[in-house]
Homo-oligomer: A and B are copies of this chain.
Amino acid sequence: MAYLNENYLKLQAGYLFPEVARRVREFCEANPEAAKRLIRCGIGDVTEPLPRAAIEAMKRAVEELGYSESFRGYGPEQGYEFLRSTIAQHDYRDRDIEIADDEIFISDGSKCDCGYILDILGDQNKVAVPDPVYPVYVDTNVMAGHTGPARKDGSYEGILYLPCTAENNFAPEPPKEHVDLVYLCFPNNPTGAVATREQLKNWVDYAHRHEALILFDAAYEAYINDDPHLNPLPGQGEADAKRQVRVESKIPHSIFEIPGACECAIELRSFSKNGGFTGVRCGFTVMPKSVLARTENGRRLPLHPLWQRRWSTKSNSVSYPVQRGAEALYSQEGHNQARALIDHYMGNAKRLRGAAADAGLKAFGGVNAPYIWVETPDGLTSWEMFDRMLRELNVVITPGAGFGAQGEGYFRISAFNSRQNAEEVARRLKKL
């Protein structure tokens, strides 16, 4: 009889969001009246219409497929040149980061890329992940057999967890010990924290010292608030901050802003949260040709050809109309529309963060990220808080423990919502 991949049997319960969905469904079935006033601030899913520029581009691309002259079948497996070059130019070269077009690989989303990337890495790597963290980093490593069994608190043997706490502003320092592979995510899901240039430099230094590889998830980079008024550096007053215009002073949007990162980092980006593409599906990976990895016997080889080959053999890239839609986000019109979406969600974040504070809760994040990370009151566990919010306020949040052991005692409020819903949640929060 065929063998199954036993690593799947190590996985705990359902994946976080299906489990949230299950509890919500049960509550709604049992409480049809309360269900009517339910507001979802759980899963980080966008709610507002797609930018018009993306819609028109996708409709044009679909229509092109209706005529012999403009029909397109299989595209390049790594993505169309028109999109790869647009990304490399706008997101990198225009910001003085030297990334070549063929170092950009188009995918059907960052979640998918998190799994795909492990295809080309060895099973021997010692892996470090922040805690709490987007569950996909850990779960894909469990599935790939890179961990031991789960412990009682849901963590897995064999992974080095990097605690992200209020004490370190949810941005962990590099560890003392050696690891081969580090996941970092800034702006962070779930805590909303950002890393300063100095903090990222420490990580790149660590990676060089240990010849480690950094997987940098920048899915939320568009939410970084580049207004220095809102982002005083540590020890810097607001007046200083306003005068501070040098590029280096800002929070990095990309790990490749840090010198030397091109030798030790791979970056994941997504159009889900800036362009509203969660249902349209498009993201990309930046794989510099200068990133090396080793064989068991010590040969050092670039990962780029392996990644190239993975896409050639295992995929035919992303739907053509979707790639045209993503391209349109880089037009002036598309950029402005995406910017308006982000401003909308960050307006929600401001209201929600304020309401949590008014309710006497200790809230983090929500300034450079669409997530507010809140301490549970009254010593409640995070799933207890989830149930209380559901029952008393009819608001769905995400329990911090779903993101890792260090997430216990916290919950995440997502700012992805209509203004009306965000304001209503803010009102209800104050009643807590």
CB–CB A136/B6 < 8 A: no
Tell me, yes or no, whether A245 is within 8 Å of chain B by CB: no
**Bound-complex Cα distance A294 to B49 (A):** 46
Chain B residue nearest to A77 (CB atoms) is B18
A382 → B minimal CB distance (Å): 20
**Given known A65-B50, A314-B136, A321-B321, contact A6–B73 (CB-CB < 8 A):** no
A residues 104-132 in Cβ contact with B at 8 Å: 108-109, 111-112, 114-115, 119-125
The reply to whether B2 and A125 form a contact with Cβ atoms under 8 Å apart is yes
Q: Decide yes or no: A180 and B3 within 8 Å by CB, A46-B73, A140-B313, A316-B112 being known contacts.
A: yes
A45 lies within 8 A of B68 (CB): no
So how many copies of this chain end up in the complex?
2
Chain B residues lying within 8 Å of A321, measured Cβ to Cβ, are: 58, 62, 280, 321
**A49 and B67 contact, CB distance less than 8 A:** yes
**A279 to B319, Cβ gap below 8 A?**
yes
- Pick from A6, A58, A71, A278 the residue with the most CB of B within 10 Å: A6
- Which residues of chain B have C-beta atoms less than 8 A from A336's C-beta? none
Q: Is the CB of A68 within 8 A of B50?
A: no
CA distance A281 to B295 in the complex (A): 34
Enumerate chain B residues within 8 angstroms of A292, measured Cβ to Cβ.
1
Say whether A82 faces chain B, with CB atoms less than 8 Å apart.
no
Interface flag for A322 (CB, 8 Å): yes
Q: Given A4-B293, A46-B73, A136-B314, list of 14 further CB < 8 A pairs?
A: A1-B213, A1-B300, A2-B180, A5-B121, A6-B295, A15-B313, A43-B74, A47-B71, A58-B321, A71-B276, A73-B279, A112-B314, A112-B315, A280-B321
